[in-house]
Every structure is written in C-alpha cells, then in structure tokens.
Structure 1
C-alpha cells in the first residue's frame, strides 16, 4: 500500500506525450483552391478577353467521389458584389480540377468562365495582393488562399 502513492506521484510527474500532429493543424478540405494565376498576360489597360482568361483560380476535388458545386461561391477580398462567382449546375468529379477563368468562354467539365469583360475593372485578382475564398452553398468557408507578391504570376495554394 505504501507504493501506491509513490507510483501515482511518479505517473503524475511524467509529462504527457505530445500528439503526433500539431493541435492547430487541420485536415485539408476535400474541395480546395490549388492555384491562383493573378498576373495574366497582355495589357490590363484594355481588359481583352484573352488577358482576362489568363487570370484564373483552380479548384480541386481531392476525394474519389464526385461533388456538386451548385451554389458554391468564389470571391476575392474586396467584398464587392460583382466579385462573386456562383457555380450553377456543375459536378466536379473525384480527383479532378476545374479552372475558373475571369473572362468569357464556353463552360466545360474542366473550365468555367466568370463572364467578365471590358477594361481594367473586369479583372478580379489584384496584381500584388489578394485572397480567394471558396464557400459552400450555406456560406461556410471551405478554403482560402492568399498571395502577397507582384514578382510572380501565380501562387500554388495546396
């Protein structure tokens, strides 16, 4: 019986083992922003469709199951209402990536178009600093990606 208090005291003096994964680390989302190409080719002064489509966001489904993105939104940090893209009926297959281009074009299984046109105000992504936000239909933030450099043309987010 005299050994019980000593054993208990010894057990309490041993530090707890740290978890294998830091407490602040979160699992990557199943649907995630993987790249923002914000410094598109061409002159931003005119907002030509080819230049607008040169800026884009890529979103990847990291699971094996198809996910409906209907009602999901992508927006930048400006919080302007005209800087929100809402997916219509669209399903992103498992393991696939969709590219959301700023300008106009024909939507496909791999590319969607924001539909913006004309002038410098048509661009979404700032040339040196911005954040992309991906939200599900209920408005829950699923993923975000920020950049802060005018020295490169794109940022890999994942």
Structure 2
C-alpha cells in the first residue's frame, strides 16, 4: 500500500480498506520498525518473518468477522493453513539459519526464503514516524509510568 494508506489505516483515519491493504500495512509497519530499531541496538539481530496462515481458533472466537461468515472463512483457513507446530518448526529453522545472522535485519517468507520488504521500510523518515506511532500507541494502552509499574509489582 501507499505510505498515506498505511498511515491512515494505522491512525484509524481509514476504516474502509481491503484485506491486502491491512495485511500489507501491518507487515510494512513491523518491518519498518525492525529497520528503525537496528541502529539503536547495534549488537542485536532482528528477523522479520511471515509464517503464512496458522490454524488457530481466532476467527471463530473473535468478532472480527460477522458470525454468519466465520464458518466459511474457517473452512478456507483449513485448506491453506499450517499447524502451530509447523509454524514453530519453521521459526526455529529460521532462527538457527546461518543466513539469518549475516545481516543485522533480515526478512523471511513462509518458504524460509530471504526476502526484501517494502521499499518504504528502508526510509529513515518513515522509520521515525513508525517508531513514534508505536511508542505513542504503547503509552496510550499501558500504564506507561514507573508509578504504574510499581503498582503492578505490589499486586
């Protein structure tokens, strides 16, 4: 998706989008965050993976889709998905791959192939925007203060 579309979806300004736009936006935001984080933590390797579709009960238990639509989506999911165990094996294989350690930031697809991400993920200005957006989102949805953290420890 275009940068403006990604930002509008992330900020909640765009609520009418196609599945490929939301998935593309989520993937691009995650990959961009890895690129932006790498210079801050030079001794850490970052790996972006897309495991493919994993068979879970999320569709059946969430309210993301209308109740009448869920059985059809779940049936389609069964055809194209992998088990959680297969996904775990895929990730373990990627983690121990010598290819993954060659660069500070790497990306892999569901076939364990190295991949390049959306060009915008390599843009420093967009990386700063993504980092700021994610930090603000976390702060909004968490206690976010030392005082709040100490209250959690008291419980």
- Normalising by the smaller structure, the TM-score range is under 0.3
Q: Give the number of the structure whose alpha-carbon radius of gyration is greater.
A: 1
Q: Whose strand proportion is higher, 1 or 2? A: 1
Q: Whose helix proportion is higher, 1 or 2? A: 2
Task: Give the TM-score normalised by the residue count of structure 2.
Answer: 0.28
